[in-house]
Amino acid sequence: MQKATLNPTPDQTFEVVGGGDYDFVKVLSRSREMQEAGDVREACDMRFQAVRRLQDLLPEEEETNLEWNHRNTRAALETIFASAIDHFLIDDFEMSAALLELLLELDPEDHQEAVVLLAYDYVALGEQELFDEVLNDVTDKYPSRTLLLLWSSFRREGRLPEGELRRFRTRYAPWFEEFTAAEHPADEAYLRDIESARPSTGAQARELWLQTENLWRRWPEFIEALRAAAK
């Protein structure tokens, strides 16, 4: 197994340079191929082990910003994010949050908008103060911020805030319709739509449902409250 190095740049960032197991471009690509072939567990483990190797490279107690515009370094950052998603989807919200916190330390500009998933993790963990701290970094251009505010308030107070509910129903009507629907099939029509150059808002709404579906299986009362509000 070849060793890697952290090479400093004039921009006070670092590039991850290495081969073999430290060629994160190849590791990430291979893990995706394995996942597409149905070897999901092996793909997730490959990504997680890659993250651990990256962590071993990092200096302790020193701020280290990784260079997004360097191909291998970007792949390393993408691998952390992918592993955080892996853990999120199996309801390991604590590990997912830890990986995302690491990612934001290494990439403070948050090129992958990891803070959104971190916000979901914090609500799932009941870490409302941490959620409040990151909420301002979640853009209001997308429906996730409104959905997060609804879910966070529901978990704290047991009810849906009227203002955010109204916003979800009007500004993000396709998402409200999707999240209150009885079924959410990932059928061929959806796949064609979401993989097209310009996915419809309906397909984007279903994508968000599918990305967060594990939360609603675990906390179905939130979705029940949304459906009750839709009547």
Instruction: Give per-residue pLDDT as tens, 63-73.
Output: 999 999 999 99
Quick check: 2 pLDDT over 90? no
Of the candidates 130, 127, 138, which has an alpha carbon nearest to the alpha carbon of residue 147?
138
Q: How many alpha carbons lie under 13 Å from residue 106 in its C-beta half-sphere?
A: 31
Instruction: Give per-residue pLDDT as tens, 81-119.
Output: 999 999 999 999 999 999 999 999 999 999 999 999 999
Q: How far apart are CA 75 and CA 79, in angstroms?
A: 6
Domain limits, the chain: 1-135, 139-231
Q: What angle do CA 193, 199, 202 make, to 5 degrees?
A: 80
Long-range contacts formed by 101-107: CB under 8 A, 24+ apart = 102/55, 103/77, 105/63, 105/64, 106/58, 106/64, 106/65, 106/66, 106/77, 106/80, 107/65, 107/66, 107/68, 107/77
User: If you average pLDDT over every residue of the chain, what do you get?
Assistant: 96
Determine the length of the chain. 231
How far is the first Cα of the chain from the last one, in angstroms, to the nearest whole number? 60
Instruction: Give per-residue pLDDT as tens, 114-123.
Output: 999 999 999 9
Q: How far apart are CA 131 and CA 164, in angstroms?
A: 17
Greatest Cα pair distance in the chain: 60
Quick check: 1 pLDDT over 80? no
pTM above 0.85, yes or no: yes
What is the pLDDT averaged over residues 9-37?
95
What is the pLDDT averaged over residues 123-147?
96
DSSP codes joined into one string, 101-118: HHHHHH-TT-TT-HHHHH
* 62 confidence band (pLDDT: 50, 70, 90): confident
What is the pLDDT averaged over residues 4-16?
94
CATH top-level class of 1-135: mainly alpha
Instruction: Give per-residue pLDDT as tens, 149-175.
Output: 999 999 999 999 999 999 999 999 999
pLDDT of residue 99: 98
